Amino acid sequence: MISITSAKKELYALLKDQRGIVGTGIKSTGRSEYIVVFVSTLSARLLDKIPATFKGIKVKTERKAMVKTV
């Protein structure tokens, strides 16, 4: 079985060119880990491109605000 870190990297490589994808991460709840895809907006167009599972690992989406520095 593929490691969650490798799966996260593969998923990010597939999604990184989509406008609105900010990054990916790994989170856990209790004993289970899952991949998080960070997006700038929770639009239906973008959410449709993110799978619910990838390589057998659960995937969730979170909105992440972009910070501009001046």
Question: Is 4-63 a domain of CATH 1.10.1060?
Answer: no
Please tell me the predicted confidence (pLDDT) of residue 2: 85
User: Helix, strand or coil for residue 5?
Assistant: helix
pLDDT tens-digit readout, 10-69:
999 999 999 999 999 999 988 899 999 999 999 999 999 999 999 999 999 999 876 666
Amino acid in the structure at residue 51: P
Q: H or E segment at 59?
A: strand 57-63
pTM of whole model > 0.85? Answer: yes
Looking up tokens 């605000």, which residue turns up? 65
The string over 48-63, giving b where at least 16 C-beta atoms fall within 10 Å of a residue's C-beta and e elsewhere, is eebeeebbebebebee
